[in-house]
Structure 1
Amino acid sequence: MAERTARALSDCAQTGEDDPGWNVSVSRGFGEGKADLRAWTALAWEASDALLFVGAAGIAVRAIAPHVASKAKDPAVVVIDEAGRFAVPLLSGHLGGANELAQTVARAAGAIPVITTATDVRGVWAVDTWARCEGLAVSNPEAIKRVSARLLSGGRVALYSDMPISGQPPEGVDIASDRARADIVVSPFAGANAGAFVRAAETTGEVVPDGETGKPACVRAQAPAPEPLRLVVPCIVAGIGCRRGA
C-alpha cells in the first residue's frame, strides 16, 4: 500500500491531474530495513512538507504528538489505513495542505477522503487554504480562527488588498476600500500592516462606573477592534550600491 501510494503521488504531474508530483520517500515500520517510528517521525518532521502514515490513526497521533507546535509551522499529516479504505488528514488541513493531500492519496489508492474541518464540511470559504494556494504568508495565524468563525456563523468579512483584485469574491467576503475597516489585509509589507491599523473603536456594551475612567457614569466603554488577519505577498527587492574606488 505504501509503495503503491508513493508511486501514485510521484506520478501525479504526469497523469494529467491538477496536483503536482511529490518527491516521496518510503520507510518501513516492520520487516527488513525497519525504521524506528519515533526517530523517523522526528527526522521527517523537520525535513518534510508532509507525513503520510499507513496504519492506525492512533499510532500516528502518538508519534507526532511531541512535535506539534502551530498551524503555521507544522507539516501536513495524513493517515491511510492499511486496507486503503480511508485517507484522513490529521494536522495542518488548510495551511499545510493536508486536506488536499488526503484527497490526492484517496484518488491514488481508491480510498475515501475523510475531511473534518468545519469550513470544508459546511462549504464555507477557508481563508487559510486560499492564502496557501495564492502563495501568501500568514503574518498572524491566530486571526484565522476569528475570520473563519464569523463566516461559519453566517456573518461577512471585509478584505482589503494593496494588490489589484480580479474575479468575484467568495460568498461572505466583501472587498473593502478602507484598510482600517478590513478584517483581512493583503499587502507585501508585513511590518507596515502591523503598525498601520488604527481601527475605529467598537462599543462593547460594558457600563463604566462613575469616575473609573474619567467618563460620566453609564457611558459604554470603547474597546479597539481586533487586529485584522494579515496576508503577506512574497516580495523581495534586492539592490546593489556602487562607490568609486570600492
Structure 2
Amino acid sequence: MNAALFAYSRCGCATARRVMAALADWDIQPYTMERFAEDGFAPLGRPAKEFYGPIFGGVQAMIFVSSVGLAVREVAPHLKSKATDPAVLVLDELGQYVIPVLSGHIGGANELAKALAASLGAQAVITTATDINGRFSVDAWAVQNGCAIASLPLAKAVSAAVLEGDVPFLSDFPVVTDLPRGLAPGDSGALGVYIGVYEKTPFAKTLRLVPRVVRLGIGCRKGTDEETIRAAVNEALAAHGIDRRAVKCAASIDLKAEEAGLLAYCRSEGLSAEFYTADELRAVRGEFTPSEFVKSITGVDNVCERAALRNAETLLVKKTARSGVTVAAAAEHWEVRFA
C-alpha cells in the first residue's frame, strides 16, 4: 500500500510522523512546506494543480494534516470517479480526529480512518449513511471481498434502497453467515443484489457482484498469437454466460511456459500464468474430454480441463476449441461471509 502525506505546520509534521509510525507497513512519502523542512519530508511543489495531480493518480491514499477545506481545494481539480479515485483523509494537526473525505468505501478511506484512529487514540469521523445506520454497504463489502462491481449506478441505488428497507439478495455461492441488515433472501424484485460469476439478471435491476474465482485452462498450437487466444477465451466465456471479470488466472502444461502468445495474453489481461507438469495434470481427478493426439504430444489426455481444475473445485466450461486454441474454465471454492 502506498500513500502521500501532507503537513503544513511544525505541529502537523509531528502528527504526520505519528501517522507514519501507525502505518509502518505502508510506503509513505511525506511532504511539507520548505520553511518547515524536516528530514525525510519532500517539499510541497507549486503550482498546486501540477503538484497534486500526479500524486492523486499514483497513490492509494492521500492523507492531509490540515483543515478539510485545504484538502478539498487541492484534490478537487483531479476527481474522476469513485471507482478509481484514491482514499483521501484529513487529520487535524493535533491528531484528535481522522476524517475520510473521499472514496470512503471503494477506496477504503473509512476503514483506513478507523484503523488510523485506533492507532493514534483519535476519533474517526464517519459520515456515510450506511455505516452510521448499521446497514449493508455494498461497495465496501465488494472491495473487501475481492468482487468486481458490475454497475456503480446500481451500487448507488442499492445503497439508497437499504436505508429504506431490505433489498433482495441471491448468491450462487454458499452463504455461511447471517445476512447483514439491509439484505433479505430473494430471487425476484425491482432491485436486487446477485453474487456469482454469471451474467445473470434475476431482478428487474440487478447489481452483480463478481468474485474473481474462475481459473482458465488453455492449450494452443505452438506460435499461436495473443489475439487468437483472446478470441477463443472470449468466445468460450460468452457461450456460457461467464463474466470476464470473474477470471483470475490462466493455466496450462509446462510445455507452454515459454509460449509468447499465451504469456502476452496473460500480461495484457492482468492474469497470473500457472504451468503444471504432465504428472501434476494426470493427478487431477474428474471426467475429462480425452484426446489421444494431445496425449501423444504432451503425455496427458487433456490439458485445458485438467489445468483449469488443478486448483479449483468445479468445472464450469468443458473443452472448447477455436483456431487451434482449447479453453476450459473452473471455479475455485468460495463462500460468502458478512462477518
| Selected match of 1:239 from 196, 199, 217 | 217
How many percent identity over aligned positions? 39
Flag structure 2 segments of 5+ consecutive residues without an equivalent.
1-14, 225-339
Higher CA-based Rg:
2
Q: Does 1:228 align with 2:206?
A: yes
Q: Does 1:34 align with 2:48?
A: no
Greater percentage in strand? 2
C-alpha change, 1:82 and 1:164, in structure 2 (3 Å) is same
How far apart are 1:47 and its partner, in Å?
A: 1.4
What is the CA–CA distance in structure 1 between the aligned matches of 2:76 and 2:222, rounded to whole Å?
A: 58
C-alpha distance after superposition, 1:18-65 (max 9, x if no partner)? xxx422222223433412243442122111111111111111101111
Match of 1:87 in 2: 98
C-alpha distance after superposition, 1:111-143 (max 9, x if no partner)? 211111111122222111111111111110111
Instruction: Output aligned runs, 1:189-228, within 5 Å.
Output: 189=198, 192-193=199-200, 197=201, 199=203, 225=204, 227-228=205-206
How far apart are 1:151 and its partner, in Å?
A: 1.6
Match of 2:65 in 1: 54
What is the CA–CA distance in structure 2 between the aligned matches of 1:45 and 1:182, rounded to whole Å?
A: 34
Instruction: Output aligned runs, 1:71-110, within 5 Å.
Output: 71-110=82-121
| Selected match of 2:170 from 160, 167, 174 | 160
Q: Is the 8 A contact 1:72 1:138 kept in 2?
A: no
How far apart are 1:109 and its partner, in Å?
A: 2.5
Q: Is the 8 A contact 1:159 1:182 kept in 2?
A: no
Q: Is the 8 A contact 2:49 2:77 kept in 1?
A: no
Q: Does 1:171 align with 2:149?
A: no
Q: Is the 8 A contact 2:163 2:182 kept in 1?
A: no
SS of match in other structure, 1:4? helix
Q: Does 1:22 align with 2:36?
A: no
How far apart are 1:175 and its partner, in Å?
A: 2.3
Instruction: Tell me the number of residue pairs that the alignment of Structure 1 and Structure 2 aligns.
Output: 203
Q: Is the 8 A contact 2:149 2:208 kept in 1?
A: yes
Which one-letter code corresponds to 1:2 in the other structure?
Answer: A
| Selected match of 1:187 from 190, 196, 202 | 196
Q: Is the 8 A contact 1:160 1:182 kept in 2?
A: no
SS of match in other structure, 1:27? strand
Q: Is the 8 A contact 2:142 2:149 kept in 1?
A: yes
Flag structure 1 segments of 5+ consecutive residues without an equivalent.
11-20, 200-224
| TM-score, L = length of structure 1 | 0.74
What is the CA–CA distance in structure 1 between the aligned matches of 2:131 and 2:138, rounded to whole Å?
A: 11
